[in-house]
Chains A and B, each alone.
Chain A
Amino acid sequence: MSPKEANRRYLRRFFPSMGVYVVLLLGSNRIQHWYQPTGAALFALAILPALPILAVIWALGMAVIEQPDEYIRLKLVKSMLIGTAILLAVTTVWSFLEDAGVVPPKPIHLAFPLWCAGMFLGQCFIWMQERAAGTGE
Chain B
Amino acid sequence: MNNHLRSLRAERGWSQQALADLLEVSRQSVNAIETGRYDPSLPLAFKIADLFALPIEAIFVNPSQEPSA
Interface size range on B against A: 10 to 19
Q: Is the CB of B16 within 8 A of A136?
A: yes
Tell whether A71 is near chain B: CB-to-CB under 8 Å.
Answer: yes
Cβ contacts under 8 Å, A71 to chain B: 25-26, 28-29, 32-33, 38, 40
Contacting pair B24 A2 (CB below 8 A): yes
Count how many pairs of residues, one from A and one from B, have CB atoms less than 8 Å apart in the complex: 44
**Docked complex Cα distance between A137 and B6 (Å):** 9
- How many residues of chain A have a CB within 8 Å of chain B? 15
Given contacts A3-B25, A136-B16, A137-B16, contact A70 B31 (CB under 8 A): no
Cβ of A72 < 8 Å from any Cβ of B?
yes
Given the known A-B contacts A133-B37, A136-B6, A137-B15, are A70 and B44 also in contact in the complex, defined by CB atoms under 8 Å? yes
Would you call A101 an interface residue if the criterion is a C-beta within 8 Å of the partner chain's C-beta atoms? Answer: no
Chain B: residues with CB nearer than 8 A to chain A? Answer: 6, 15-16, 24-26, 28-29, 31-35, 37-38, 40-41, 44
Chain A residues proximal to chain B, CB less than 8 Å: 2-3, 68-72, 74-75, 130, 133-137
20 further A-B pairs in the complex, CB-CB below 8 A; given A3-B26, A68-B24, A71-B25: A3-B25, A69-B28, A70-B25, A70-B29, A71-B26, A71-B28, A71-B32, A71-B38, A71-B40, A72-B28, A75-B28, A130-B28, A130-B31, A130-B32, A133-B35, A135-B31, A136-B6, A136-B16, A136-B35, A137-B31
